[in-house]
Structure 1
C-alpha cells in the first residue's frame, strides 16, 4: 500500500501524516521496529558498557587509540540510554507521546553522538597515520589524545545546540483512508518555521558529518597504505627484519580495525543520508514517495541506531585482546595468556609507546 508523507520528517524519526492513511496496526514496522530496537538496546548497552569497564579498570588498555574507542563507546551509550527507549515507538504510535522536553533532548543527543562518532573516527585515522608514519612525533601522546577527545565533545555539542533550541512538538493534520483531514497528531520536529531552513540544515549536516570526514579519512588511509607498503621493503638485517615485520603487522591490524569502524559508520548512515537529501531537496518528493522510498526510510532509521551497537561486536571479532576481556566479563572466562602475554598482546594492539622504543 502506498503511503505519502508530508514534509515533517526529521533526522531519525518521522511520524507519517499520510494522504492515503494506513492504520498502524496494519503496518509491518509497528511490530518489527520495537523488536529491532530492543535487540539494539540490549546488545549496545552490554557491549559498550563492557568497553567502558575495560578502559576504566585496566590501565594497560588506556592507550592512545583506545582513548578514542572509549569516546565512541561513551557516545553510543549516551544515545542508547537517552534516545532508543523513546524513539523506538515513533513508528508504532500515531502521535508523539513524550512531550517537548524529551523531544528537544532526544534530537540534541542524536546530533551530539553522530558528531562525536564521525569526528572521533576522523581523529583516530589521523592518529593512526601519525603513529605509523612518524612514531617519534612528540605530539603523539595520551594527553594530546585526551585533549582531542574533549575538544571533539565540545564541538559536537556546539553543532547540536540548534536542535536543542528549535526542536519542539508540532501539530499536523491526519488523513483518513479517503484523504480527508479527519484529525490532528503531534510530532517531534527539529526544524523551526523558517523558510528553507530544513534544506540548508540537511545539506550542511551532510557535508559536515559525511562528505568532508569521508574525504579526510580516505586521504589519510591512502597515505597509511603507501607508508606501510614502502616500510615493508626497506627492513634490513635478520633481527631488525623480524622486529620490523612484527611492527608492520601490528600497525596493519590497527589500521584494519579503524577501517572497519569507519566502514560501519558510513554504511549505517548512508541510506538515511540518501533519503533525507532526496526528500528535502526534491520538490516532487511527496508525489513520488512510494513503497521503495518508505522501505529506504525504515532501513535508514534502523541502521542509524544500529551503528551504536556494532562497534563492540566488531572489536570482539577482530581483536583477540578485547575478545578475551569480553569473555572475562560476559562469560566469566579468564584470559588465555599469562600477564606477560597479556601485556604483549595489549602492546601489539595499541601501545605505540613501546613501538617507539623498538624503532
Structure 2
C-alpha cells in the first residue's frame, strides 16, 4: 500500500492528532500513519529551551520589581505585570510540552482528560491575557493623554471615572481573566484524551470552523481594531500639541498637567506618559506580528483541509507558533529597553537589595545598551533558527 502524504511532524498540541488526517486505502483495512522523521530537530529544541529559561527569568524579574516596590504599583504597571503573567503561563505550561513533543517525535506524555483540557486551554488563555492586557493599557493611555472626559472641564462625571480607574485594578485584571476563560471555554468542554493523544475539537467540522473564527475575531481582529483606533487618537492628540503647544485649554495640557495653563516646555510628566504610550504601541505591534501566522494557520487549516498535504503549508505551520513563544521573551526586554525606571530598579534590587543608594546617571545608558544587545542577540538567534 502506498502511503498518502499527511501533515507530518506536528509540533503543536492543537494539531497533535495527526492520525486524524491519514487516509485509508479502499482495498485494505490498514490506515496509513503519519510520517515520523528519523532525526530530532535539536536546533528547534535548543532555541525553545533558551526561550523558556530566559523568558521565565525576564518576566519573573519584572513582576518581582513591581510587586516589591510600592511606588511602581500604578495602573499601567499592574497591567504590565498581568501581561507578563500571561507570558509566564505560556512559558511554564505550554513550551515544555512543545519541547517534549519534539523530543518524542509526535508522541506526548499528556495523560487524562484533565491534563488534556488544562494544557490546551492554557495556551489560549495566555494569548488572550496578553492581548486583553494590551487593550486595557491602550485604553488607560487614551484616558491619560486624550482624556475625552476633560474636554468640557473637570466635572463630577470625570472625577468619578478617575476615582474608579484608580481603585479598580483588581476588577480590570479579573475582567481580563474572565474574558480569557470564556474564549477558552469551548476547548475546556470539548477537549478529551483518546488512545492516540489529546484531541481538541474535531477538525473540519462546523463546530471547529465556528470556534476558530470566534477565536480570530475575539483575540485578533477586535483587539487590533480597538488598539489601532485608540493609538490613532493618541497620535492625533500628540501631533496637535506639537503644532500648537501653547493653545489655551489644550486637551493635552489639561489631561497631562491637570490644568489649562500655557507651557512652552514639556514637563517630565508629559514625557513619561508619552514614553509609556510608545511602550504600549511597540508591545502591541510585536504581539499582532507574532500572532498573525498562527491565526492564518488556524483559519486555513479548518476551511481548506487539502492544505495538510502541501509541504509548503506544513513548513509554514511548523514555524507559525514560534513567534508567539519568542514574544514571551521580547515583552520584558522591550520594557527594560524603553523604561529607565525599570532598568534602574532592576539594578538596585539585584545589586543593592539592602536599599543602598547609588548614582545612576551613567549606569542608565550602559544598561540600556546591555538590554538592547540582548534583544538583538535573541533576534539574530531566532532568525538563524528559522533558516535552519
TM exceeding 0.5: yes
Q: How many residues align?
A: 319
Counterpart in the other structure of 2:206: 196
Deviations 1:52-76 (A, max 9, x none): 1111110111111111101111121
Give the whole-Å Cα distance in 1 for the aligned partners of 2:357 and 2:47.
Answer: 32
The more displaced of 77-86 and 268-277 is: 77-86
Report if aligned partners of 2:301, 2:307 keep a CA contact under 8 Å in 1. Answer: yes
Give the whole-Å Cα distance in 1 for the aligned partners of 2:339 and 2:358.
Answer: 14
Counterpart in the other structure of 2:253: none
1:67 to 68, 72, 78: 78
TM-score under structure 1 normalisation? Answer: 0.79
Give the whole-Å Cα distance in 2 for the aligned partners of 1:40 and 1:148.
Answer: 29
Runs (4+) of structure 1 exceeding 6 A deviation are 8-11, 331-335
Counterpart in the other structure of 1:284: 306
- The CA deviation at 1:227 is 0.6
> 1:98 and 1:20, CA in 2 relative to 1: closer, same or farther beyond 3 A?
closer
> 1:194 and 1:14, CA in 2 relative to 1: closer, same or farther beyond 3 A?
closer
Deviations 1:204-224 (A, max 9, x none): 101110011101111111100
Report if aligned partners of 2:335, 2:342 keep a CA contact under 8 Å in 1. Answer: yes
Report if aligned partners of 1:132, 1:251 keep a CA contact under 8 Å in 2. Answer: yes
Q: What CA RMSD, in Å, does the superposition of the two structures yield over aligned residues?
A: 3.0
Report if aligned partners of 2:14, 2:200 keep a CA contact under 8 Å in 1. Answer: no
Report if aligned partners of 2:14, 2:199 keep a CA contact under 8 Å in 1. Answer: no
5+ residue gaps, structure 1: 172-185, 343-359
5+ residue gaps, structure 2: 23-31, 248-260, 365-388
Give the whole-Å Cα distance in 2 for the aligned partners of 1:13 and 1:286.
Answer: 11
- The CA deviation at 1:168 is 1.9
Report if aligned partners of 1:33, 1:302 keep a CA contact under 8 Å in 2. Answer: no
Give the whole-Å Cα distance in 2 for the aligned partners of 1:189 and 1:326.
Answer: 42
- The CA deviation at 1:51 is 1.4
1:25 to 19, 38, 45: 38
> 1:31 and 1:3, CA in 2 relative to 1: closer, same or farther beyond 3 A?
farther
Deviations 1:120-145 (A, max 9, x none): 11111011011002277432333133
Give the whole-Å Cα distance in 2 for the aligned partners of 1:111 and 1:214.
Answer: 17
- The CA deviation at 1:31 is 1.7
Counterpart in the other structure of 1:266: 288
Report if aligned partners of 2:307, 2:313 keep a CA contact under 8 Å in 1. Answer: no
Matches within 5 A, 1:138-149: 138=159, 139-140=161-162, 141-149=165-173
Report if aligned partners of 2:204, 2:303 keep a CA contact under 8 Å in 1. Answer: no
- The CA deviation at 1:107 is 0.8
Counterpart in the other structure of 1:121: 134
SS at match of 1:83: helix
Deviations 1:176-213 (A, max 9, x none): xxxxxxxxxx2322115894211111111011100111
Give the whole-Å Cα distance in 2 for the aligned partners of 1:337 and 1:146.
Answer: 35
2:60 to 49, 52, 72: 49
- The CA deviation at 1:252 is 2.3
The more displaced of 124-133 and 228-237 is: 228-237
Tell me whether 1:95 sits opposite 2:107 in the alignment. Answer: yes
1:4 to 3, 6, 30: 6
Report if aligned partners of 1:103, 1:169 keep a CA contact under 8 Å in 2. Answer: yes
Counterpart in the other structure of 1:231: 241
Tell me whether 1:159 sits opposite 2:183 in the alignment. Answer: yes
Give the whole-Å Cα distance in 2 for the aligned partners of 1:48 and 1:226.
Answer: 32
Matches within 5 A, 1:303-342: 303-329=323-349, 337=359
Of structures 1 and 2, the one with the larger relative CO (CA 8 A, separation 6+) is 1
> 1:167 and 1:32, CA in 2 relative to 1: closer, same or farther beyond 3 A?
farther
Counterpart in the other structure of 1:346: none
Counterpart in the other structure of 1:351: none
SS at match of 1:241: coil
